[in-house]
Structure 1
């Protein structure tokens, strides 16, 4: 499974580099960071992201993996992300792409108009946002959809397995 995640891992590396660059440019205006969990809600993810979470879980000790599995099972029905524990992600290194971009300025379409938004806890009121400080969400999602489609075709998965799953479902399947 690991070679099949290579395209996804390359995308994650590029997203992480972009996020670090934006954080570097915007400096202390960005207050969202590890430990800030106000945006951590229960979400659905693509199969390639579920596989990356499973891979991250498998790299842990059996004891740590069992602890995470039990925590996710208990928190699965809540509104908060089931991987959230004491305001920290239990699989932070393997978190999905949307989680990597939380808090940063994003460009998206709403009612046919481009709009920029970010976490209201950030202090960007007097900051001019340029193309180098904003994540184009539509472009990012297009690449993620393509990477997921390639992953699905390479794994020979059935059509229904290309549907998004919750994080709890991804962990419980491990």
Structure 2
């Protein structure tokens, strides 16, 4: 069962993403079917996997479709033929923040990044602090929620694929 703390965090991330979508409407190219950021090999925390699993278990026909769907090289297993996410309502935090301007630290140095399709004519280093999502803070919050609500698998990472997320 998906957790209330996790759902609260998802709601806050979605609100921030919507704020950024409005704030940067001209700079963001992300749209339904744009899936260049949807790469294989992503992992999720137990609390995220549990949310996806609970949702999928209520949709056995989708699970069967996903298991039979041929893999598309270089793409997430949850994408359909048109590049749309088939688990969009329960997609993990990493997917909810793709394309947005992000800040994070690498070796104690502040970095910023964004999908290369976005902000093509803008320098993201000039964006105000409140106009960039702090990925380090978000990851810390996600780790804390996972520790509290990830159950016996808290702290573990799971491959974002149909077999891994539906496994009990």
TM superposition score normalised by structure 2: 0.87
Aligned to 1:96: 92
1:82: how far off? 1.1
Mapped partners of 1:57, 1:137: distance in 2: 27
Residues 146-157 of structure 1: matches in 2 within 5 Å? 146-152=144-150, 155=151, 157=152
Match of 1:68 in 2: 66
Query: Which residue matches 2:159?
Result: 166
* 1:85 positional shift: 1.8
Structure 1 portions without partners, runs of 5+: none
CA contact (8 A) 2:57 2:166 kept: no
Corresponding residue pairs, total: 163
Which residue number in structure 1 is paired with residue 34 of structure 2?
36
Quote the Cα distance in structure 1 between the aligned partners of 2:4 and 2:67.
25
1:142 to 129, 140, 145: 140
Secondary structure of 1:122's counterpart equals: coil
Q: Distance in 1 between matches of 2:11 and 2:23?
A: 18
Indicate yes or no: 2:45 matched with 1:46: yes
Find the residue that maps to 2:63 and give its secondary structure.
helix
Deviation at 1:143, TM superposition (A): 0.1
Deviation at 1:35, TM superposition (A): 1.3
SS in 1 for 2:25: helix
Gapped runs of 5+ residues in structure 2? Answer: none
Aligned to 2:116: 120
Please state how far the C-alpha of 1:69 moved relative to its aligned partner. Answer: 3.5
RMSD across aligned C-alpha pairs, in angstroms? 2.1
The structure with more helix, counted as a fraction of residues? 1
Runs of 4+ in structure 1 deviating by more than 3 angstroms, as ranges, are: none
**Equivalent position SS for 2:121:** coil
- TM-score, structure 1 length as denominator? 0.84
